[in-house]
């Protein structure tokens, strides 16, 4: 009797206890093996993040310091050459990564959390909340994102306080502007999913046993949105970095002089591009590679986490 | 269908009210600013020195009186909703008022610039569909093959490269290699000289089309992969249709709906991207007009231009939704 139950029933408890950690490692190994491009992207991201964090060590000269040798072509001393102010392009690219990653991360955290929470309220409670929030989203989505971020910047620009040296006023302003543009998009995606979850049996079960609405939203539905949140994060982060650099390129991003991939491609620097192409090539290349790496990783995550969402954005 | 169309059409004015109220709120948050701008200044301390053409020039302490007079002329001293109502009534009749900076009719300025932006948008859409759809199909027919792998990497690079960098390179590299650049020509209307106009407009459109085509290709690929193994496709194969007909007539048609959605979404992105593309190539379109207006704090112009953009976006979205019914007979509104 005991032998039969061993072969057909669930495995004994001591085996089960071993399972979870083993399976988790297997998952990572499988990801690395099946998602070659994604792993490649992850490695590039690690390198870029390392470069940004270690910028004070890796840089060869102060990125804001004016140098005497202007428009020097790439050499042993100035790896990426110098720009029209004699600033070292390599050092500026390193520090530019800090700005892009910082603003990108801050934006993504705020939009994903904000968009998801608003979507939870709208999707789960429905009714008038849903109607008002959805229409507000519709209105915000109807504007071209860059122009709307520009308008916001012009409107609230002078009133914006800074958050110390970590996020000065100009960067905080960028974060706020990009957040306002992105949140309705996140909201739309998440709301659809909340609506789906709302009609599932487990939500019904929770309601039947008398769980309060707030608990159902936060403890039952929210954990089920995590997979989608990760996927949306992976597409939003590169988009946020692109928008930040786009605004900086238009000359309304970070303050003048701050090293930024977008800003270094804009304004008066453009006059010197044909004479000193390295000023244009390296910041743009750094930006493109960063966005590409995040997109590669995002694609792989999407494949791994939810095959149904493949290719969607 | 008619009820649905009616509902959508009724929604548009309400959306527009919301959109313009939001813009109005943002732009006229701090009254007085707009009046100051008319002096070409933002700093009130300097407002006394440079009166515009002497009309409102005031000396010494009379300066504030001049400003108040200006505010009065533009109606900026009135309550928020009175200003809004006045603006809205004129806007409905196609009159967006006068630009604060140069006192020209905003409707006329938009009318001059809008065709260029629409032209760029249309060319971009055509290019990205012509490139993106075939690439997506080729990629999807043999998933996992070397050609699919190459195209996938190419398209993911395409969506990653920022359009302003591509535009920058498009100006810089030819200048570097051949001493020629697609920039720096005086703009010509399409009506005046179609060929010269196209040779100018094609550049911003090409730059925007790279990202757009890559995006379209990716979506076409994934939506075709979904339908390549659907039940109805198997039926089509089972009854002996050639693979070519299965793909073109069954698979592609059913993924058309996704393609249509993407093109609709892309048009929004292209309208936004036109700001950057027009700026790089110095093409005088609506995007550049609004950008310059924002930079110059010409608030009435920003208000009119942004309303126009939003209206265009809503019309395109509605058109795409209606086209669904043509492409996919299963959809009934």
Chain segment B276-314, per-residue pLDDT in tens: 888 888 888 888 898 888 887 778 888 888 888 888 888
Q: What is the pLDDT of residue A209?
A: 92
Instruction: Decide if A288 is inside a domain.
Output: yes
Tokens found for residue B323 = 């086209």
Confidence at residue B155, expressed as pLDDT on a 0 to 100 scale: 93
Domains of chain B: total = 1
Instruction: Give percent of chain B with pLDDT exceeding 90.
Output: 8
For residue A307, what pLDDT is reported? 53
In a domain, B21, yes or no: no
- Residue at A29 is within a domain: no
CATH label of the domain that carries residue B160: 1.10.3720.10
Of residues B41 and A291, the one with the higher pLDDT is A291
Q: Is residue B15 part of a domain?
A: no
Question: How close A40 gets to chain B, by Cα (Å)?
Answer: 12
Tell me the pLDDT band of B199, cut-offs 50, 70 and 90: confident
The residue ranking higher by pLDDT, B103 or A103, is A103
Contact B237, B255 (CB under 8 A): no
Cβ–Cβ gap B169/A280 under 8 Å: yes
pLDDT band at residue B151 under the 50/70/90 scheme = very high
Contacts of B313 in chain A (CB under 8 A): 142-144
Examine residue A133 and state whether it is found in any structural domain, yes or no. yes
Domain that holds residue B193: 106-327
User: For the whole model, what pTM was predicted?
Assistant: 0.82
Asked if A295 and B156 come within 8 Å (Cβ–Cβ), the reply is: yes
d(CA B310, CA B303): 11
Cα A259 to chain centroid distance, Å, stands at 20
Hey, is B75 helix, strand or coil? coil
Residue A13 lies in a domain: no
**Which one has a higher pLDDT value, B232 or A162?**
B232
Residue A21 covered by a domain: no
Question: Which residues of A fall within a CB distance of 8 Å from B288?
Answer: none
- The total of structural domains in chain A comes to 1
- A245 φ, ψ (degrees, to nearest 5): -70, -30
Asked if A156's CB is within 8 angstroms of B29's CB, the reply is: yes
Within-domain flag for A208: yes
The region of weakest confidence among B94-103, B122-131, B143-152, B226-235 is B94-103
Residue B41 lies inside a defined structural domain of this protein: no
> Does residue B180 lie within any of the structural domains?
yes
pLDDT at B185: 65
- For residue B137, tell me if it sits in a domain: yes
Within a domain: A159:
yes
Question: Minimal Cα–Cα distance from B26 to chain A, Å?
Answer: 6
Give Cα separations from B34 to A127, A156, A195 (angstroms): 40, 14, 44
Q: Could you give the C-alpha distances from B153 to A311, B29, B159, B161, B181, in angstroms and in order?
A: 13, 47, 10, 12, 29
Chain A to chain B, count of Cβ pairs less than 8 Å apart?
139
What pLDDT digit, counting tens, does each position of B265-276 carry? 787 778 878 888
pLDDT for A106: 92
Shortest Cα–Cα distance, A265 to chain B (Å) = 8
**Considering the domain boundaries, does residue B229 fall inside one?**
yes
Q: One digit per residue, pLDDT tens: chain A, 313 residues?
A: 444 444 455 555 555 554 455 566 677 777 777 778 888 888 999 988 888 887 777 667 776 666 666 666 676 666 666 667 667 777 788 888 888 898 999 999 999 999 999 999 898 888 888 888 888 888 888 888 888 888 887 777 666 676 666 677 788 888 888 898 899 999 988 988 888 888 889 988 998 998 888 888 888 888 888 888 888 888 899 999 998 888 888 888 777 777 788 777 776 667 776 677 777 788 888 899 999 999 999 888 887 776 554 444 3
Question: Which of chain A's residues have a Cβ under 8 Å away from the Cβ of B156?
Answer: 37, 292, 295-296, 299
What residue in A sits closest to B287 (Cα-Cα)?
A147
Helix axes A145-156, A169-198, angle to 10 degrees: 130
pLDDT at A294: 92
> At A162, which CATH number?
1.10.3720.10
> Taking CB atoms and an 8 Å limit, are A155 and B272 in contact across chains?
no
Share of chain B above pLDDT 70, in %: 82
Distance, in Å, from the CA atom of A256 to the CA atom of A264, rounded to the nearest integer, reads 10
Is the pLDDT confidence value at B233 over 90?
Answer: no
Alpha carbons within 13 A on the beta-carbon side of B331: 12
Domain that holds residue A217: 35-65+76-309
- Range B227-238 average pLDDT: 85
Compute CA distances B115 → B187, B284, B286, whole Å: 13, 10, 8
């Amino acid at each position: 009797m005991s032998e039969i139950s061993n072969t057909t029933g669930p495995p004994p408890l001591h085996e089960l206890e071993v399972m979870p950690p083993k399976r988790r490692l297997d998952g990572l190994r499988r990801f690395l093996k099946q998602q070659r491009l994604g792993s490649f992207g992850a490695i590039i991201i690690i390198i870029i993040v390392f470069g940004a964090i270690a910028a004070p060590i890796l840089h060869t000269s102060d990125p804001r310091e004016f140098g005497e040798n202007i428009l020097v072509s790439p050499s042993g001393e100035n790896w990426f050459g110098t720009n029209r102010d004699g600033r070292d392009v390599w050092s500026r690219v390193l520090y530019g990564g800090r700005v892009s990653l910082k603003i990108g991360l801050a934006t993504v955290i705020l939009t994903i959390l904000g968009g998801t929470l608003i979507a939870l309220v709208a999707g789960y409670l429905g009714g008038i909340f849903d109607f008002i929030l959805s229409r507000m989203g519709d209105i915000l989505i109807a504007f071209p994102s860059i122009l709307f971020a520009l308008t916001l910047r012009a409107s609230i620009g002078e009133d914006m306080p800074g958050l110390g040296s970590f996020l000065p006023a100009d960067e905080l302003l960028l974060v706020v502007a990009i957040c306002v543009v992105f949140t309705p998009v996140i909201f739309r995606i998440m709301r659809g999913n909340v609506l789906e979850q709302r009609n599932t049996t487990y939500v019904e079960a929770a309601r039947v046993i008398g769980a309060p609405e707030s608990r159902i939203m936060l403890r039952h539905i929210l954990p089920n949105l995590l997979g989608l949140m990760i996927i949306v994060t992976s597409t939003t982060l590169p988009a946020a970095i692109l928008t930040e650099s786009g605004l900086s390129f238009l000359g309304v991003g970070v303050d003048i002089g701050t090293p930024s991939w977008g800003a270094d491609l804009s304004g008066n620097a453009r006059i010197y591009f044909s004479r000193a192409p390295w000023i244009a090539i390296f910041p743009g290349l750094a930006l493109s590679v960063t966005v590409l790496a995040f997109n590669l990783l995002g694609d792989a995550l999407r494949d791994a986490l939810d095959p149904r969402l493949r290719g969607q954005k | 269908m008619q009820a649905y169309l009616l509902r959508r059409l009724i929604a548009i004015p309400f959306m527009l009210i919301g959109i313009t109220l939001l813009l109005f709120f943002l732009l006229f948050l701090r009254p007085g600013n707009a009046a100051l701008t008319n002096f070409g200044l933002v700093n009130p301390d300097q407002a006394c020195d440079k009166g515009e053409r002497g009309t409102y020039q005031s000396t010494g302490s009379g300066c504030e009186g001049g400003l108040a007079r200006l505010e009065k002329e533009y109606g900026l001293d009135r309550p928020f909703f009175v200003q809004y109502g006045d603006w809205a009534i004129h806007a409905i009749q196609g009159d967006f008022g006068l630009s604060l900076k140069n006192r020209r009719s905003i409707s006329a300025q938009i009318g001059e610039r809008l065709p260029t932006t629409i032209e760029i948008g249309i060319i971009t859409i055509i290019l990205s569909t012509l490139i993106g759809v075939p690439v997506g199909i080729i990629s999807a027919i043999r998933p996992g093959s070397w050609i699919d792998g190459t195209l996938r990497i190419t398209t993911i690079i395409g969506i990653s490269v920022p359009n302003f960098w591509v535009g920058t390179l498009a100006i810089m590299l030819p200048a570097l290699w051949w001493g020629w650049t697609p920039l720096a020509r005086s703009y010509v209307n399409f009506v005046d000289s179609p060929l010269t106009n196209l040779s100018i407009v094609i550049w911003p459109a090409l730059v925007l089309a790279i990202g757009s085509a890559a995006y379209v290709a990716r979506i076409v690929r994934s939506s075709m992969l979904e339908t390549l193994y659907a039940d109805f496709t198997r039926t089509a194969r089972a009854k002996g249709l050639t693979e070519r007909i299965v793909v073109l007539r069954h698979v592609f048609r059913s993924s058309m709906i996704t393609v249509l959605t993407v093109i609709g979404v892309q048009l929004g992105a292209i309208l936004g991207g036109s700001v950057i593309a027009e700026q790089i190539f110095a093409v005088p379109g609506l995007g550049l007009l609004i950008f310059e207006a924002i930079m110059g704090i010409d608030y009435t112009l920003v208000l009119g231009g942004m309303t126009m953009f939003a209206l265009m976006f809503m019309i395109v979205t509605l058109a795409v939704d209606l086209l669904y019914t043509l492409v996919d007979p299963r959809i009934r509104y």
